[in-house]
Amino acid sequence: MRPAELIKNPIFYFILVPLLIAIWPLSVALVYLPNVEKSIKAEEGDYKRAEDLMEGILNLDPDRISSSDAKKQASEFDYATAVEQIAKNYGITPGTYSISVQPIRVTEKEKTKNASVVLQKVSIESFASFLSSLQTRWTKLECESIELAQQKGLKDSWKATLKFKYYY
């Protein structure tokens, strides 16, 4: 039988249509379902990692959850508490830093509070982590200037002088 005669034969369609209908569930069962299962397992893994990360953040700073009112949080900002909380996370002891806070300054447009923080004998990694965490935790805190001076005779020991401004 030639292809032209085969296409004109109705028995060909009685065989072809059920065959095509049978291929669809087979392709779903053999191709698409395993891919969906892999995708679900990958998403479950991503969710578990994200959940662990969120729990880690909550363990490091549980106060973030309880402070829902931004204005309340802003009025309670204190340089000494903020620096102490972050410094202890990076091994910066209270004896190795000093804080000098100026009174709150109110102008027509804004209310600010300036401070100077001096870190003595701090590693560059601890310093960078400290500064990053401090500004991440308090988004209205702005670092206006940084002065770094390497301690003489020590490879990774720095004196860092930071000037901050907090906007209420």
**Rounded distance between C-alpha atoms, residue 81 and residue 87, angstroms:** 10
pTM check: above 0.85: no
Per-residue pLDDT at 66: 59
Residues 136-165: tens digit of each pLDDT: 988 899 999 999 999 888 888 999 999 999
Per-residue pLDDT at 141: 93
Task: Look up residue 111 and give its two tokens.
Answer: 């209310």
Domain 70-167 architecture: 2-Layer Sandwich (3.30)
**Rounded distance between C-alpha atoms, residue 120 and residue 148, angstroms:** 10
Residues 15-43: tens digit of each pLDDT: 999 999 999 889 888 888 888 888 999 99
Residues 47-71: tens digit of each pLDDT: 999 999 888 888 887 766 655 444 4
Residues 67-117: tens digit of each pLDDT: 544 444 445 789 999 999 999 999 899 899 999 999 989 988 889 999 999
Per-residue pLDDT at 3: 83
**Rounded distance between C-alpha atoms, residue 70 and residue 88, angstroms:** 24
131 vs 77 pLDDT, higher one: 131
Per-residue pLDDT at 82: 92
Please check whether residue 166 is in contact with residue 116, taking contact to mean a CB–CB distance below 8 angstroms.
no
Share of the chain above pLDDT 90, in %: 51
Strands 111-122 and 141-150: unpaired
**Rounded distance between C-alpha atoms, residue 83 and residue 99, angstroms:** 8
Per-residue pLDDT at 9: 87
Per-residue pLDDT at 67: 52
Neighbours of 138 (CB within 10 A): 18
